[in-house]
């Protein structure tokens, strides 16, 4: 008899043991030897051991099954999602603890109940439709719907139905009420945001990280002319002029790379482009926001065309008012200037008459005539400076001479009952500044002092001193700001007029402010602007009924001595060569200018207007070295001649000779286009220096 190796069940072992027992009953009588009996007993022992082993395996398997079932039910009950087993007739067969908690009822009260107990009436049709699809397709179905708790409250749930055996199915339930509420809140927020943006007066656009437009409100449609359906998805550059595309692209890349401080949160003025191709100024404010799907930017855009127009109109009006103020100043000065001009003309005419009567004195008289002519030229330049027709030039200025000249001129202008006394030190250092603007300071302060006195008898005291502001002193300007430490020339103008009250003192430097209680209130804001431009300071002391004192602090540069030194003039007269085309409509000026130019070694061709000059140049272009032309001429003026000659010969040096002032010339002819400017009246030395500079510059270029 052999041992079997096939695993046997307990029943098999019992059956085998009975068979062996019956066989042994039959065999025992036949056994005659002890060896056979021993063999038989051994086989019985082996089968007994096999039976015990099988019983142990059965006990272990049952224990594992029990443990597995325990773990399953633990997981089943502890799962956060609700689980239900539903029979084929829609009865709840089993339910876990999460589902019972979700519905607010004991598990025992749900088991053997119909599934309709947890379905709101309005949701039952939806549930059974999805259930039918699950059974028919034999595949899982999931959807969102409302369920009802035991107390009647409804909640949102995400359901998943999985088919089982014998018509049963599993139902997995997740409570998504909070998510649904968040989604509804988000939709409400989006609706409010859209309503807000659509009703906003400013254009509001949204762009993504690729610079594509993804948001566009009604104001943007009206501003740029693009409807929303047409603009969405296009690049931001579609609403910017082509010349700015590269600049906008670089700026936006810097923002994307982390340089948000460059434009984020700031208000920028840029140029926009409408659909019809027209450009307009706009104000842009850009903000950045991040969501899981990426980074976006919202731009609030305001059309500032009207504001820019208003600013331009305001600027033009201010310029007109400033010009009117200057003209008013010129009107005040007219009497004094006429007085000085008459004196100058008297000197010139008297010396000319004396030279005719006594020719031998001509050498002595000519310097006096020249000095008087220079004084007349200075007066003309001063008038042009007041009228804004002269360029500002910063150079070393002797304030003593400047203030003394202004006092002499204004004495003949202001009320004769007002006495001007001056205390001007001869040792006052020079300052660096624009002489014409410094004259305007002196003029305005003295005129205002005179008008503060009115028609009464009064005194104006003008002093000029050198002072030093040191650290720790309490020198304050008119607004209480400390005056910087350093050396200053101090101009002080004091009157014994009506004085100012507190309100007037606070507002006296406002543009175009005037009390008109005694006069015109001329130019105090301009005075303050000039002082500030010269890095100076101003102090004001005034008391109503007792008078006013203005103290102007103008800084002294450390290198003043260098500025005072005159340029070296060679004693050897400079000589040129070549032919100059002289264009001048005044015969006497043309005659004198021709003689002076010939004295410098040049040949001269003359023309009385631009048309004659153009014809002469066309015939003699190869031999004309340069052109000296007046501006104000009949038939064709100097501006038109300049343009036509430059069109014909761009490299031709042209010198502009004008009595209208440098500013007017530079407004029509850009700096650098003209080879030089010869301001009338000019001396022989002026003419020589301008011609020398132009000729030498032309030779370097060649």
Domains, the chain, ordered by start: 10-74 (no CATH), 79-175 (3.30.450.20), 183-303 (3.30.450.20), 393-565 (3.30.565.10), 579-701 (3.40.50.2300)
Q: What is the pLDDT of residues 95-129, one digit of tens each?
A: 888 888 888 888 888 888 888 888 988 888 888 88
Q: What is the pLDDT of residues 628-665, one digit of tens each?
A: 998 888 888 888 999 999 888 888 999 888 776 665 67
Q: Running DSSP on this structure, what letter comes out for residue 200?
A: -
Distance of CA 256 to the CA centre of its chain: 18
d(CA 649, CA 643): 10
Are the beta carbons of 336 and 413 closer than 8 angstroms?
Answer: yes
Are the beta carbons of 438 and 399 closer than 8 angstroms?
Answer: yes
Residue 701 β-bridge partners: none
E-assigned strands of 453-546? Answer: 458-469, 486-495, 537-543
Q: What is the pLDDT of residues 326-341, one digit of tens each?
A: 566 556 556 556 656 7
Enter the tokens of residue 186: 């988000």
Give the pLDDT of residue 553.
93
> Which are the contacts of 129, defined by CB distance < 8 A and separation ≥ 6?
none
Of 254-258, 288-292, 366-370, the one with minimum mean pLDDT is 254-258
- Mean residue pLDDT of the chain comes to 78
Helices 435-453, 305-357: inter-axial angle, 10-degree rounding: 90
Question: What average pLDDT score do residues 68-87 get?
Answer: 67
Name the CA dihedral angle for 491, 494, 500, 505, rounded to a multiple of 10 degrees.
10
Question: What average pLDDT score do residues 596-625 get?
Answer: 91
Q: What is the pLDDT of residues 376-430, one digit of tens each?
A: 776 676 666 555 555 556 788 899 988 988 888 777 677 778 888 888 887 889 9
Nearest to 583 by CA among 606, 614, 560: 606
Q: How confident is the model at residue 606 (pLDDT cuts 50, 70, 90)?
A: very high
Give start and end residues of each alpha helix (H) in 603-675: 610-620, 638-648, 662-668
Q: What is the pLDDT of residues 32-66, one digit of tens each?
A: 566 766 776 777 677 767 766 766 666 766 665 55
Alpha-carbon separation of residue 638 from 217, 322, 611, 615, 619 (angstroms): 56, 29, 10, 14, 19
d(CA 354, CA 290): 93
Question: What average pLDDT score do residues 282-310 get?
Answer: 84
Enter the tokens of residue 127: 């549930």
- The residue behind tokens 């603007």 is 437
Q: What is the pLDDT of residues 225-256, one digit of tens each?
A: 999 889 898 888 888 888 777 766 566 666 65
Enter the tokens of residue 306: 């009207």
Are the beta carbons of 161 and 142 closer than 8 angstroms?
Answer: yes
Residue 208 β-bridge partners: 296
pLDDT at 91 over 50: yes
Q: What is the pLDDT of residues 509-536, one digit of tens each?
A: 765 455 544 434 446 767 787 888 888 9
The pTM is what? Answer: 0.39
Give the pLDDT of residue 9.
57
Give the pLDDT of residue 657.
84
């Amino acid at each position: 008899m052999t041992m079997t190796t096939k695993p046997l069940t307990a029943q098999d072992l019992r059956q085998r043991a009975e068979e062996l027992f019956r066989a042994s009953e039959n065999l025992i009588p036949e056994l005659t030897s002890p060896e056979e009996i021993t063999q038989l007993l051994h086989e019985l022992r082996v089968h007994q051991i096999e039976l015990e082993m099988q019983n142990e395996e059965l006990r272990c398997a049952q224990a594992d099954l029990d443990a597995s079932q325990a773990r399953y039910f633990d997981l089943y009950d502890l799962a956060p999602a609700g689980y239900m087993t539903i029979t084929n007739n829609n009865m709840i067969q089993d339910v876990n603890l999460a589902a019972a908690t979700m519905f607010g009822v004991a598990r025992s009260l749900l088991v053997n109940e119909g599934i309709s107990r947890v379905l709101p009436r309005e949701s039952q049709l939806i549930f059974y439709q999805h259930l039918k699809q699950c059974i028919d397709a034999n595949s899982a179905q999931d959807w969102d719907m409302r369920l009802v708790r035991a107390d009647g409250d409804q909640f949102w749930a995400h359901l998943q139905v999985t088919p089982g055996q014998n018509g049963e199915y599993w139902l997995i339930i997740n409570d998504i009420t909070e998510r649904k509420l968040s989604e509804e809140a988000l939709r409400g927020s989006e609706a409010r945001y859209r309503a807000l943006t659509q009703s906003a007066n400013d254009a509001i656009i949204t762009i993504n990280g690729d610079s594509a437009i993804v948001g566009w409100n009604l104001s943007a449609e009206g501003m740029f002319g693009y409807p929303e359906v047409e603009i969405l998805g296009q690049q931001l550059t579609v609403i910017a002029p082509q010349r700015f595309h590269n600049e906008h692209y670089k700026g936006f890349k810097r923002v994307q790379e982390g340089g948000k401080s460059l434009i984020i949160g700031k208000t920028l003025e840029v140029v926009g482009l409408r659909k019809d191709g027209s450009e307009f100024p706009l104000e842009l404010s850009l903000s950045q926001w991040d969501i899981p799907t990426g980074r976006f930017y919202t731009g609030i855009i305001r059309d500032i065309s009207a504001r820019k127009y208003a600013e331009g109109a305001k600027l033009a009006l201010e310029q007109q008012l400033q010009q009117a103020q200057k003209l008013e100043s010129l009107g005040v000065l007219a009497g004094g200037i006429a007085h000085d001009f008459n004196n100058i003309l008297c000197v010139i005419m008297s010396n000319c008459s004396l030279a005719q009567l006594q020719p031998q004195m001509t050498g002595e008289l000519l310097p006096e005539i020249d000095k008087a002519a220079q004084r007349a030229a200075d007066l003309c330049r001063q008038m042009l400076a007041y009228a804004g027709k002269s360029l500002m030039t910063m150079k070393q200025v002797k304030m003593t001479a400047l203030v003394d000249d202004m006092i002499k001129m204004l004495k003949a202008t202001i009320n004769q009952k007002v006495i001007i006394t001056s205390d001007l030190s001869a040792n006052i250092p020079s300052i660096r500044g624009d002489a014409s603007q410094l004259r305007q300071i002196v003029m305005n302060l003295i005129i205002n002092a005179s008008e503060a006195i009115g028609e009464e008898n009064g005194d104006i005291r003008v002093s000029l001193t050198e002072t030093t502001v040191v650290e720790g002193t309490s020198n304050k300007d008119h607004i209480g700001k400390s005056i910087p430490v350093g050396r200053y020339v101090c101009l002080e103008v004091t009157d014994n007029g009506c004085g100012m009250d507190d309100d007037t003192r606070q507002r006296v430097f406002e543009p175009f402010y005037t009390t008109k209680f005694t006069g015109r209130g001329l130019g105090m804001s301009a005075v303050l602007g000039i002082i500030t431009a010269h890095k100076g300071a101003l102090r004001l002391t005034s008391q109503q009924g007792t008078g006013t004192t203005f103290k102007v602090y103008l800084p002294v540069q450390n290198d003043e001595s260098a500025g005072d030194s005159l340029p070296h003039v060679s004693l050897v007269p400079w000589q040129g060569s070549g032919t100059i085309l002289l264009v001048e409509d005044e015969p006497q000026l043309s005659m004198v200018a021709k003689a002076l130019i010939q004295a410098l070694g040049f040949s001269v061709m003359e023309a009385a207007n631009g048309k004659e000059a153009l014809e002469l140049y066309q015939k003699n272009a190869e031999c004309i070295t340069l052109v000296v032309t007046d501006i104000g001429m009949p038939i064709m003026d100097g501006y038109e001649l300049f343009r036509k000659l430059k069109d014909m010969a761009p490299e031709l040096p042209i010198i502009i000779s004008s009595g209208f002032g440098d500013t007017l010339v530079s407004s029509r002819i850009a700096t650098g286009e003209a080879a030089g400017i010869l301001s009338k009246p000019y001396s022989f030395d002026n003419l020589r220096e301008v011609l020398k500079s132009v000729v030498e510059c032309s030779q370097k270029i060649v």
